[in-house]
Amino acid sequence: QATPFTVVGVGDMSGDVFGNGMLLSRHLRIVAAFDHRHVFLDPDPDPAASFAERERLFGLPRSSWADYDTSLLSAGGGVHPRTAKSIPISAQVRARLGLPDGVGSMTPAELMKAILAAPVDLLWNGGIGTYVKASTESHADVGDKANDAIRVDGADLRVKVVGEGGNLGLTQLGRIEFAVAGGHINTDAIDNSAGVDTSDHEVNIKILLDRVVAAGELTVPARNELLQEMTDDVAALVLRDNYRQNRALANARAQAASMEDVHARFIRALEQQGDLKREVERLPNEEELLDRRAAGIGLTVPELAVLLAYAKIDLEDAILATALPDDPDFSSALSEYFPRALAERYRDRFAEHPLRREIVATALVNGVVNRAGTTFAFRLAEETGATADEILRAHEAARAVFGQAELWSRIEELDGVVAADTQTAMYLESRKLVERASRWLLRRRRRPLPVATTADFFTTRVARVADLLPARLRGAPREHLEAETARLTALGVGDDLARRVAGLDALYAALDITDLAEQTSRDVDDVLAVYVVVGERLGLDRLRERIVELPRDDRWQALSRRALQEDVETEHRSLTAAILASTDAGFEPETAFGVWAAGEQTAVTRVLSILDDVRGHGVYDLATLSVAIREIRSLV
């Protein structure tokens, strides 16, 4: 990013963690830092000159902040040993660190505490030790006596973001306290997961190649050369995984308040299974969850990161207990895990990998949780009674049918172009469609779902509906499409992508339309035309809008709302089928509807009258909407 970003940190440029991190952008401005030897102060650094000097120190063996060229420091800066009794505080440093007027000197410990609590953009921890706790914890609770004198509370942090290159830089409660106050922070496990992911790839690659070497197909020197050649490819695979995991947490953060009840149920379910101890993981108890709900804040990202990990572990265990990892429909998960060079040379060896099933399960579970959310599998199991493997199959089929991979790639291209919140909203809209489609497949298709066959059947037909839909929509769906397209384009999204995302809600009907076309031997164009007319003329589209507005503060409200939605979808489908059955090829949709309605005049008049009555009173609750749907059902 090109905007200068002010940083305070723990570490020095000779360290892989701190040094590597501080060379990732030429626009970082390190205004203060400390390690076990020195305190570094540069209150107004020049981004270009300071980057070059950091780069020099990183390449200098066993360097320290004392090796920094002090002629490059801004006014009021300096490098001071931690052994000093007192460190002078310049006016520039005082302003940068947000210190009170009149502070002219500080002990090293006092200054390091001030650095940790400085009002800057980023606190980058590349050191060893625990520097932040919660205000509810004592220093003894932390168990890092060496840093007691400089440790601060999460509530004291004034940075916008904390990045953890080291481990245990903050206690979990310290992270949560900072996050509750509005700070952006993950957990050290999330921020450092790329290293673990790299090791995972390294081990599995070496297992594969060692078998190739043992078979005499590759020499050891050639194997070592190949490993070196694949460095960048492995890095790309690892960064892709970690980008998606962080995106999943951003999506979760956006929905934390609205999903509080679901998260509470998921925590209870994990506890009942004996998989989770919330006290150990520092997850809130029932009373604290109620307080969060009242405050409208839900779980914080550090807590969501814990649930993310448990969701993946729980789902992977369930998947490994099934035959899903052996299904040829998922063989691509194995080939996509390995670098391209291996796939090109030794793809035929992948099936012999002793950890093949574990690799496939891990890849698939990472994908479904990162894309669909932490509680996706849990909620669909609650609602449909489906098993973990059935849910995963439905999700993968739905993703393929609606082209989610290509759509998300287009949204990713907007990194740094539009606001992150805009991208998150677009991801969530796509995710909602895939979740609804997954539920549809679980309810309307035989299990276990053949993923490739299902995708082959629906994809082309759904794409046809997607092409036709914008021109065919009318009434409330058209109003939504146009308004949402305008809103997204105003936020910087290209018109084509904006219109595609805006149309995702209406596109869900493509499943019913495709299914009806197959059952009635009609073209999807004809089925779509009748479907749209029925939705507008009978007020089903407006009815859907009212159902979506119903509260879903707890599980039962959410289930009731979803049941009404599915009832409307069922009746919409049935009415469309009835009209199609009463018409010949070459019909006009309005005419076909008119002929059918004339034959059902009394019932149609009553339905429209009741819907008008509901609208007139402006009361849209579970009771009134249920009555309206019951009357619509009488038409079929």
Q: What is the mean pLDDT of residues 557-578?
A: 90
Q: How confident is the model at residue 625 (pLDDT cuts 50, 70, 90)?
A: confident
Which residue intervals of 11-90 are DSSP H helices? 16-21, 47-59
Cβ neighbors of 217 (< 8 A, separation 6 or more) are none
Whether the CB-CB separation of 303 and 297 falls below 8 Å is answered with no
pLDDT for res 629: 86
pLDDT in tens, 275-300: 999 999 999 999 999 888 888 889 99
Task: For residues 254 and 267, give the distance between their C-alpha atoms in angstroms, rounded to a whole number.
Answer: 19
User: What H or E segment, with its residue span, contains residue 102?
Assistant: none
> Counting Cβ atoms within 10 Å, is residue 123 exposed (0-12), middle (13-18) or buried (19+)?
buried
Q: The pTM is what?
A: 0.92
Strands 122-125 and 105-106, by their bridges, are unpaired
Q: What is the mean pLDDT of residues 457-466?
A: 96
* Closest to 78 in 3D by CA, of 124, 119, 52, 45: 45
Instruction: Please give the full DSSP string across 426-475, using - where no structure is assigned.
Output: HHHHHHHHHHHHHHHHHHHS-SS--HHHHHHHHHHHHHHHHHHHHHH--H
pLDDT for res 306: 97
Burial annotation 320-358 (CB, 10 A radius, 16+ → b, else e): bebebbebebbbebbeebbbeebeeebeebbeebeebbe
Q: How confident is the model at residue 552 (pLDDT cuts 50, 70, 90)?
A: confident
- Residue 81 preceded by cis peptide, ω within 30: no
E strands, 97-173, where? 105-106, 122-125, 132-133, 152-153, 161-164
pLDDT in tens, 206-230: 999 999 999 999 999 999 999 999 9
Which residue intervals of 491-554 are DSSP H helices? 495-502, 504-507, 510-520, 524-537, 540-548
Q: Across all residues in the chain, what is the average pLDDT?
A: 94
Which residue intervals of 521-620 are DSSP H helices? 524-537, 540-548, 555-581, 589-599, 601-617
The structure tokens listed for 5 are 């970003």
pLDDT for res 544: 86
Instruction: Please give the full DSSP string across 233-293, using - where no structure is assigned.
Output: HHHHHHHHHHHHHHHHHHHHHHTTTTTHHHHHHHHHHHHHTTS--HHHHT---HHHHHHHH
> Counting Cβ atoms within 10 Å, is residue 23 exposed (0-12), middle (13-18) or buried (19+)?
middle
Strands 132-133 and 152-153, by their bridges, are parallel
Please give the share of the chain, as a percent, with pLDDT higher than 70: 99
Q: How confident is the model at residue 605 (pLDDT cuts 50, 70, 90)?
A: confident
Whether the CB-CB separation of 54 and 13 falls below 8 Å is answered with yes
Task: For residues 526 and 586, give the distance between their C-alpha atoms in angstroms, rounded to a whole number.
Answer: 9
Please give the share of the chain, as a percent, with pLDDT higher than 90: 83
pLDDT for res 2: 56
pLDDT in tens, 65-93: 999 999 999 999 999 999 999 999 999 99
Least confident range from 209-223, 228-242, 308-322, 582-596: namely 582-596
pLDDT in tens, 19-66: 999 999 999 999 999 999 999 999 999 999 999 999 999 999 999 999
Within the chain, how many helices (H) and strands (E) appear? 32, 10
Q: How confident is the model at residue 16 (pLDDT cuts 50, 70, 90)?
A: confident
Q: How confident is the model at residue 1 (pLDDT cuts 50, 70, 90)?
A: low
* Closest to 543 in 3D by CA, of 514, 565, 558: 565
User: What H or E segment, with its residue span, contains residue 180?
Assistant: helix 172-180
Task: For residues 187 and 32, give the distance between their C-alpha atoms in angstroms, rounded to a whole number.
Answer: 23
Q: What is the mean pLDDT of residues 401-422?
A: 97
Name the CA dihedral angle for 439, 441, 447, 448, rounded to a multiple of 10 degrees: -90
pLDDT, greater one: 231 or 619 = 231
* Closest to 397 in 3D by CA, of 347, 342, 457, 473: 457
pLDDT for res 386: 97
pLDDT in tens, 229-238: 999 999 999 9
The structure tokens listed for 574 are 């049935």
Cβ neighbors of 392 (< 8 A, separation 6 or more) are 315, 319, 324, 364, 365, 368, 377
